[in-house]
Amino acid sequence: MTTTRTQVAIVGAGPAGLLLSVLLQREGIDSVVIETRTRDEIEATVRAGVLEQNTVDLLKEAGLGDRLVREGAVHHGIHLRFDRRTRRIDLSALTGGRSITLYAQHEVIKDLVAARVRSGQPIAFGVRDVHLRDLETEAPTVRYRAAEGNEATIACDFVAGCDGYHGVSRTSIPARSRVEHSRAYPFGWFGILVEAPLASEELIYARHDRGFALVSTRSPSLQRLYFQCEPGDSVEAWPDARVWDELHTRLETDDGWTFREGRITQKNIVAMRSFVCETMRHGRLFLAGDAAHIVPPTGAKGLNLAVADVRLLSAAIAAHYATGDDAGLDRYAAEALARVWRCEHFSWWMTSMLHRFPGEDSFHRHLQLSQLDYLTRSKAAATALAENYVGLPWDWTNDNSRGGLQ
């Protein structure tokens, strides 16, 4: 068995773990990253990437903005479509110029992996049999079997659990010590990646009596479209002709708008759930990203919450090593959870307003349409949506920044 000594052991090479490693390295803090998947697997996992203004700014500050600026698509608004009408929410006008950027999550991961490799610090792919030990002591360890088959141990000061909901980090916290909340939604998203011309300059969120639909983009020639489906649906049940019929129906309008079909290169079904593990710290273990929380994709918050977590965690760890001040570590969970619950609510609200629920009656339908109509008529309501969508300021979670209504 080989033993490696480092300051921070990072379990998981998703956006949370990789960005944490980059932020720590900028502070002169050593880390080791381990990941159960291969590099090819994590770089090829296609997921949506709507980046908040905060996320874009932080990636640029961390030296990760070159390709993002060159290839990302900046959007200043979104479209809400209902009752065969389309109304635009001007995000930038309502939030003092803030915007979102579409840049796929796997592209973010490619940039982060490249930065990690350039730093020369260790990253181990394809590991298995990961175990976290001695978390309630000042000398925690991470044991695993490397891709080559040999057993290895990381001795460290802190463990960052960034390995997602199905990883070992969260479940390494004793069940009696974990406080968790979850909600499953009675539908999923059927997604396609299609080679076709740009269907819309900005995202279209559509509410239809048959269910939700979303028009997104990846590039001028590659589009991403989703529609609500049954949670137990299968890709095989949706041949191309059926997919196109459903999308045309749900996206129809009275203004002549349409989109061109193309060659579908990928089909997948996205599960819909909300989850929060409020125990984001256990001894020297700190959870971040999907290991601690999951949001339905309607609010576009998953990646952005991971970034917010590791921004807090990296600053707290840096303060520990620089001055011995552990106040940031002690308040990490509470401060992170303030943003987590805000984003959970926003994502739930967007989901509830736009999707068709089983057994939905005319009363519920009219409530949804009234809410959507109000959003497009009221500046105050539109502003609330806009400021949550582009991302609340970093200092929003600080108690002294929320003085309440005067």
Read off the CATH number of the domain in which 308 is found. 3.50.50.60
Question: Sorting pLDDT into bands at 50, 70 and 90, what band is 291?
Answer: very high
> Are 226 and 175 part of one and the same domain?
no
Q: Kindly report the CA angle at 79 between 391 and 223, in degrees rounded to 5? A: 90
Residue 74: the pLDDT is 95
Residue 61: the pLDDT is 95
Q: What is the mean pLDDT of residues 231-239?
A: 95
The per-residue pLDDT for range 72-122, each reduced to its tens digit, is 999 999 999 999 999 999 999 999 999 999 998 889 999 999 999 999 888
Total residue count of the chain as it appears in this document = 406
| Residues contacting residue 73 through CB under 8 Å, at least 6 positions apart | 101, 102, 103, 217
pLDDT exceeds 60 at position 406: no
Domain count, the chain: 2
> Are 147 and 278 part of one and the same domain?
yes
- Give the whole-angstrom CA distance, residue 300 versus residue 296: 8
For residue 57, being part of any structural domain is answered with no
Q: Which of the residues are catalytic?
A: 75, 205, 297, 301, 389
Q: How far is CA 65 from CA 16, 40, 107, in A?
A: 17, 22, 11
Tokens of 163: 């390995």
Q: What is the mean pLDDT of residues 302-317?
A: 97
Residue at a domain's end among 238, 271, 304: 271
Question: Sorting pLDDT into bands at 50, 70 and 90, what band is 23?
Answer: very high
Residue labelled with tokens 């979102």: 100
For residue 256, being part of any structural domain is answered with yes
DSSP 179-202: -EEEEE-S-EEEEEEEE---S-SS
Q: How far is CA 290 from CA 209, 273, 297, in A?
A: 32, 12, 13
| Residues contacting residue 11 through CB under 8 Å, at least 6 positions apart | 17, 34, 130, 132, 142, 159, 160, 161, 162, 163, 167, 168, 169
Q: How far is CA 85 from CA 79, 202, 282, 317, in A?
A: 10, 16, 50, 50
> Are 160 and 287 part of one and the same domain?
yes
- How many beta carbons lie within 10 A of that of residue 131, not counting itself? 12
> Are 235 and 286 part of one and the same domain?
no
Q: How far is CA 228 from CA 210, 279, 363, in A?
A: 8, 32, 21
Q: Which domain holds residue 44?
A: 2-49+104-183+274-355
Alpha-carbon 222 to chain mean position: 21
Query: What is the CATH number for 252?
Result: 3.30.9.10
pLDDT exceeds 80 at position 379: yes
The per-residue pLDDT for range 26-39, each reduced to its tens digit, is 999 999 999 999 99
Question: Sorting pLDDT into bands at 50, 70 and 90, what band is 399?
Answer: low
Question: Sorting pLDDT into bands at 50, 70 and 90, what band is 128?
Answer: very high
- For helices 327-354 and 302-323, angle between their N-to-C axes, nearest 10 degrees: 170
> Are 191 and 261 part of one and the same domain?
yes
pLDDT exceeds 70 at position 405: no
For residue 372, being part of any structural domain is answered with no
- Give the whole-angstrom CA distance, residue 301 versus residue 293: 11
> Are 278 and 266 part of one and the same domain?
no
> Are 114 and 14 part of one and the same domain?
yes
Q: What is the mean pLDDT of residues 262-272?
A: 94
Question: Sorting pLDDT into bands at 50, 70 and 90, what band is 221?
Answer: confident
Q: What is the mean pLDDT of residues 65-77?
A: 94
> Are 151 and 239 part of one and the same domain?
no
As a whole number, the mean pLDDT across the chain is 94
The mean-pLDDT minimum among 45-49, 135-139, 343-347 falls in 45-49
Identify residue 387 by its one-letter amino acid code.
Answer: E
For residue 252, being part of any structural domain is answered with yes
Q: What is the mean pLDDT of residues 297-313?
A: 96
Residue 400: the pLDDT is 46
Q: What is the mean pLDDT of residues 301-309?
A: 96
> Are 142 and 234 part of one and the same domain?
no
Question: Sorting pLDDT into bands at 50, 70 and 90, what band is 396?
Answer: confident
Residue 401: the pLDDT is 45
pLDDT exceeds 80 at position 404: no
pLDDT exceeds 90 at position 42: no
DSSP designation for 63: T
Which tops the pLDDT comparison, 397 or 371?
A: 371
Residue 43: the pLDDT is 85
For residue 56, being part of any structural domain is answered with no
For residue 369, being part of any structural domain is answered with no
> Are 45 and 162 part of one and the same domain?
yes
> Are 42 and 110 part of one and the same domain?
yes
> Are 17 and 150 part of one and the same domain?
yes
Residue at a domain's end among 321, 337, 355: 355
Tokens of 30: 């050593």
Q: What is the mean pLDDT of residues 193-197?
A: 93
What residue ranges in 91-195 does DSSP mark as E strands? 100-102, 123-124, 128-133, 141-145, 151-155, 158-161, 180-184, 188-195
Residue 385: the pLDDT is 98
pLDDT exceeds 50 at position 279: yes
For residue 65, being part of any structural domain is answered with no
Residue at a domain's end among 223, 246, 271: 271
pLDDT exceeds 90 at position 44: no
Residue 403: the pLDDT is 43
For residue 90, being part of any structural domain is answered with no
